[in-house]
Structure 1
């Protein structure tokens, strides 16, 4: 029987259980997973911390079956997809499920490993830039070609979300793109116009951002900030260089959970602050998810968009624990951890991995949540 991974909240163990192949509902697609990808949110969000479940959402593989209302996909198609966060049949499995509107075809020149780096990160970046910050998308960037510059600062630019934010910002013609990074400075140089090393300290980061903006003809305060980290002090740092009178900031994690002083952190009245929560493409932003999933496929096909660097963690599904622990320990630097599912049966379980023939616990009451605003 096919298998899937149940991740324990402590991230010190996983359970591999037998699971029947899912049966797709109306707009669902069942995908035979070739490669699954990990994201920090697979363990980080507070709602996960008391719930054992299959937390994987990045899928790349072959369509196995489709629901009665699916017309754009058929069995045998090569696809990538975003699984709805918090619902059953996640990507850490031999068979996973995604709605048709967050599934897209992948061109032959894109590998399954490359494709698995894309759905969560690229859709999060697109949501932040275009749905939330209302920046001009690549297909509507004519005004910027006439010389009107829009700057953007991306904190965590070499994370998968930050890197896709920079790539999309480049396609949109934004300038200057200022990236704040650390160990992966060389990779950051390929993405942005200016790189600032956060390891130099917060005061230096603030001064350098203001220096670059003034050099490029702006006031010294940032009008658009994309915080692709949103914890460990980045929320507070970005607030220091954000324009308090009309600036807009998008965060990938909610400040109410991840600010240093959760009770008292707040943005000035003149700032528009949005938590760009990608689960919204499965609820209030379905049309956005549909349009951008299709567009990602097109950008990949013609080479305008490149996947994120990746590392294959050995052991197939047995390796999920290793990948999540490496993410939790901060070992990822400009890389996405992915798992070749077909390697599962050929690899012995690692420490913290158990196997069971029984399904895990009943559905959690928060299974249909969006991230809190």
Structure 2
């Protein structure tokens, strides 16, 4: 089968032929219909894990081909979306990919493969930060009916930011304040945001304080990590007991006062991987993901959850390099870049779905 290897310095991709992988006991083998790009896919070989050249894809939708020996809830032919473990073989930029069942969910009939492809990696990452790190009450908890203090999301139109907003819509907050720019029209449509702060006005701290209106804020999500974002947030959060969810473990957060908890969120913990640098293992995240992904399918069917806006790039897997370059150059806003594997010119005719 065809598989895309992502290389760096300069950024480039190579399509190679590899054997179709075998799923592990707790995995499924998926015939990939659509795969999606995330910023980490170019950052990993460039500077996060330099020198490692593998298939960096982590997000997909498709049809189950084989189930592992311990798998009892999925069957061959099921329509699914799934997240593949980071920095492991058999990534999603390929004709077939594997995924653990705890990050795989059945697609209800009201969602397309295209939209479903935008969900698994980003939504799960947002959920870990929101529920597991910030300790926001989960929708099934009796505490979820209690009004929470204001929530600030920096980078609301990013995929993690937008999915955090969709999760926040299931809770209750005094205020939901979003820092964003050109992506405002998209997230404004959610009908949950009380205040907007435009970072392009260069008055983020002042405008955040004005939006808070004297209320204390204990919860913030930095979904953009632009170098100034978490510093700005630390200036407006309550001086004691506040938490910031951040998503890049390798950044220097020393500018954040020690009284504010830096809740480092790393997607790999749902697959038992340790957080880089701090080497923390959050075993509870594995079961959290299992339960969460079962609810995701139901939420989609009920209209409580939806995917992210997307653009399908032409030429299937041949366009992965173009997509990663667009992400690296900052040319993507408020949408996900996805690829229809069957559009790859070099595939054999029998692949087409």
Superposed counterparts of 1:194-233, under 5 Å: 194-201=195-202, 204-214=203-213, 218-219=215-216, 222-233=217-228
Residue 320 of structure 1: how far off its partner (Å)? 0.3
Q: Equivalents in 2 of 1:28, 1:120: separation in Å?
A: 16
Q: TM-score, normalised by structure 1?
A: 0.85
The residue that corresponds to 1:121 in the other structure is 122
User: Post-superposition shift, 1:248?
Assistant: 0.5
* Structure-2 separation of matches of 1:110 and 1:175: 32
Aligned-pair CA distance for 1:237: 1.7
Q: Which residue of 1 aligns with 2:246?
A: 251
Whole-angstrom distance in 2 between the partners of 1:346 and 1:185: 39
> Number of paired residues?
332
1:282 is the counterpart of 2:271: yes
Question: What CA distance in whole angstroms lies between the structure 2 residues aligned with 1:54 and 1:40?
Answer: 14
**CA-to-partner distance for each residue in 1:236-258, whole Å, 9 max, x for gaps?**
2222212221111110112xx33
1:340 aligns with 2:331: no
User: Greater shift after overlay, 230-239 or 48-57?
Assistant: 230-239
**Cα deviation, residue 306, structure 1:** 1.3
> In the aligned structure 2, how far is the partner of 1:32 from the partner of 1:315?
18
**Over aligned residues, Cα RMSD in angstroms?**
1.6
Q: Which residue is equivalent to 1:368?
A: none
Whole-Å Cα distance in 2 between the matches of residues 177 and 190 of structure 1?
Answer: 14
8 Å CA contact 2:6, 2:55 repeated in 1: yes
Q: Give the direction of change, closer, same or farther, for the CA distance of 1:337–1:240 in structure 2 (3 Å limit).
A: same
- The 1-side partners of 2:299 and 2:144 are apart by 20
Per-residue Cα deviation, 1:14-35 (whole angstroms, up to 9, x for no partner)? 1101111111111011000000
* Corresponding residue number in structure 1 for 2:328: 328
Say if 1:179 and 1:188, in contact at 8 Å, map to a contact too.
Answer: no
CA distance in 2, matches of 1:135, 1:300: 21
Q: How far has the Cα of 1:150 moved from its partner?
A: 2.5
- Deviation, structure 1 residue 11: 5.4
Q: Distance in 1 between matches of 2:297 and 2:150?
A: 27
Task: Give the structure 1 partner of residue 167 of structure 2.
Answer: 168
Match 1:237 to one of 215, 232, 238? 232
- 1:181 aligned onto 2:176: no
Runs ≥4 residues deviating over 6 A: none
User: Alpha-carbon deviations, 1:211-242, whole Å to 9, x = none?
Assistant: 1212xx613xx210100112332122222212
Cα distance in structure 2, aligned partners of 1:110 and 1:321: 27
Find the counterpart in structure 2 of residue 311 from structure 1. Answer: 311
Residues in 1 aligned to 2:305 and 2:96: alpha-carbon distance in whole angstroms: 27
Instruction: Provide the residue aligned with 2:87 in structure 1.
Output: 86
Counterpart in the other structure of 1:356: none
Report deviation, 1:165. Answer: 0.3
Query: 2:262, 2:240 → 1: CA distance?
Result: 12
How far has the Cα of 1:143 moved from its partner? 4.6
Instruction: Tell whether the 8 Å contact from 1:226 to 1:249 is kept in structure 2 after alignment.
Output: yes
Measured at CA, do residues 144 and 51 of structure 1 come closer, stay the same or move farther in structure 2, by a change above 3 Å? closer
What's the counterpart of residue 369 of structure 1?
none
Query: How many angstroms apart in 2 are the aligned matches of 1:271 and 1:154?
Result: 16
Q: Find the counterpart in structure 2 of residue 363 from structure 1.
A: none
In the alignment, structure 2 segments of 5+ residues that lack a partner are 273-282, 348-353
The alignment partner of 1:330 has SS state of: coil
Aligned partner of residue 136 in structure 1, secondary structure: coil
Aligned to 2:206, what secondary structure does the other structure show? Answer: helix
Q: Distance in 1 between matches of 2:112 and 2:188?
A: 25
Structure 1: unaligned runs, 5 residues or longer: 348-373
1:136: how far off? 1.1
